[in-house]
Structure formats: C-alpha cells, structure tokens
Amino acid sequence: MKRRNFIKNASLTGVGIAVGSALASCAESKKEAITPISEDAVQKGTLPLVIATWDVKNATAKAWEVLQSGGTALDAVEQGCMIEEANEKGQSVGKGGLPDRDGKVTLDACIMNKEGNCGSVVYLQNITHAVSVARKVMEETPHVMLAGKGAEQFAYDQGFQKENLLTEASKKAWEDWQVKSEYKPIINIENHDTIGMLAIDKNGDISGACTTSGLAYKMAGRVGDSPIIGSGLFVDNEVGAAVATGLGEEVVKTVGSFLVVELMRQGKTPQEACEEAISRIVSKPNSDYKNFQVGYIAINKKGETGYFAIHQYFSMTKYQAGNNENIQSEYFNKS
C-alpha cells in the first residue's frame, strides 16, 4: 500500500485517531522534557558556551568571539577548529599533523548542526581545513561522507587550495620513528589530540565539530572515529552533544558519542554520561585499556558540561562567562 493510501485508510478505520492522539501526547511529553533556554541563562553568562578537547585556548577564544558577536554555534565550532588546523606546531590536526606510516598526512573531520544534519571527510589529503570541507559536504551535497580522492577533488571544486601538509618537523618525527619502530602505529596514552569542539549559542542551539590527522604512523588507509557520526561526534539539539578523542577503534566499537548523548536523554548529567561511556570500554572482556587512552567531553541543553577519560593526561578547555580555562579531567585508571 502506498504511504498516502495507508494514511488515508488508517484515518478512516480509527487507527488514525489512535496514532493521532499518541503523537499528540508524545509531542506534549517531549515539550516538557526539553528545558527551554531562557534569556536568564544568557544574562547570567551560563550561555553562550564552548568546550573543546585538550588545551586549545586559542581555538575556544575564536569560537567565543563568534558566539559573543551573536554568531551561530555552527560557525563557532568550525572557526574554532580551524585555528588548530592552521597551527603547524600542533602535530595532530590539519597542517603539520603527523603522517601515516608511509609519510602521508591524511585527515578526518566531521561537523553536525542543530537540525541534526552532518558532513564528514575521510582520508583527506593536501587540504588544511578538513572541518570546512566537512561543512561543505553537509551544505552543498546530498551526502554525509566523502572520502579520499573524491573528497579532495570536491574541496578543490569548492575553492580550497592544495597545500603540502607535511611540515619539516613532522617529516623529521616520522623519519625518526621509522628508524626505531617496528612499523606499528603509535597508540600512546599521553598525547592523543583530536580537536573536538561543542558550542551552544545565544539562542540555545547546539553544534559540534571535530578534526584530526588520526593516529600517528597509522597503516595507510586507516580511518578512526573522528569522521564517523555517532562515534567521534554526536549532536542532538534537544538533549546535548558529545565528542571523543583517543584510540578511535575503541570509540567506534561502542559508538561512544551517540551513547553519551543517549545516556543524557535518559536523565544522566554530562559527567555521569561520559563516565558511563568510558566504563563500557574498560569493562569489556579482555579490555586492553591500560595501553590506550579515550576521553569524552559533553554538554547538555542547560549548559552543564562533563568530561572523563581512561587515564590522566586529558583535559578540556571551557570558555564560559568570559572565562577561558583549561581543566584537567578526572580519569578512570588510578592504579
């Protein structure tokens, strides 16, 4: 039966009445569940708000500037991430990112807006601002993800410039690694560095983005969690948002960011939700968590935040009420 006929028949048989009233009561209970953003929150300085993984005060400052001038959360997270992508000294995202084991810098990024639309790029080469290409995928194509050569060609078509992303410093680090390595990717605990950013603007709308060069010296073709919507990032404007950093394989296996948001939907605070998502990873049978790091940050619609990691050496930068600070995270593995 065609959908239109089904609806017509349903309303004739009374099913429509049942469905209709169920929908109405669902809409009502939804209305109650969503805490409206009040002018008050803006007055008090609770909003706007931006948080990011790691110590990236320049990036949050840029996002804050956008939010303060009345810009959208979407513009804020894009422009904030772009600061770190352009920072050659940060060897984990954008230009200067550490390459794969064959010496190629390959970037992953994604972005998600208040409508739940998203765009992502995977294994992108020769373009610094992967997050902006992801936004173009969201806004200019009927797709969600573009990968490899297709993503790169799309970026050129959109006016992005070709650049060599392998800086002298990153090339040297790669050459040194080749000498001493067993040709294995580095899965370290101390220094994971996806830049993930979440913001709420003055209208109370949430967006998020993340960008990374992935694991240093990864196998050619390897893709992590960061461009995978639901794993590296998830935004639900009715509830909140979450973003991940660390060993992407472990985040993907638990669909981490979606999990954090769903836990918030069920009533957990952002902090409780991040802790529960980490516990799902470390409590898996035979989890090797002592040897890898994962960290989450999250916000909810009220402007509450949370952050948690497996090990220490994880921090969140938070810009709220005119205050830009980097805060060390609580973590699971105290032994």
Binding residues vs ligand ASP (CB under 6 A): 192-194, 212, 214-215, 224-226, 245-248
The least distance separating ligand ASP from the CB of residue 95, rounded to whole angstroms, comes to 17
Nearest residue (CB) to ligand ASP, 108 versus 262: 108
Q: Which is nearer to ligand ASP, 208 or 303 (CB)?
A: 208
294 and 247 Cβ atoms separated by less than 8 Å: yes
Distance (Å, whole) CA 312 – CA 277: 16
- Residue placing its CB nearer to ligand ASP in the complex, 204 or 214: 214
CA 70/CA 121 separation, integer angstroms: 28
171 with 164: CB under 8 angstroms?
no
Least spacing, CB of residue 135 vs ligand ASP, in Å: 19
Nearer Cβ to ligand ASP (90/246): 246
Query: Whose CA is closest to 199, among 322, 295, 74, 115?
Result: 74
Between 230 and 246, CB nearer to ligand ASP: 246
Q: How far is the CB of 335 from ligand ASP (least distance, A)?
A: 23
Q: Provide the annotated active-site residues.
A: 194
The Cα–Cα gap between 154 and 60 comes to 28
Sequence-ordered list of residues with C-beta below 8 angstroms from that of 48, at least 6 positions apart, any chain: 42, 64, 67, 68, 73, 76, 199, 200, 201, 202
Q: Name which of 7 and 147 has its Cβ closer to ligand ASP.
A: 147
Alpha helices in 141-291 (DSSP H): 148-157, 168-180, 248-253, 256-265, 270-282
How far apart (Å, rounded) are the C-alpha atoms in residues 255 and 252? Answer: 5
d(CA 138, CA 112): 8
Distance of CA 45 to the CA centre of its chain: 24
Strand blocks (E) in the chain: 49-53, 107-112, 118-124, 145-147, 195-200, 206-212, 233-236, 240-246, 294-300, 305-309, 315-320, 323-328
Angle CA 51–57–59, to nearest 5: 75
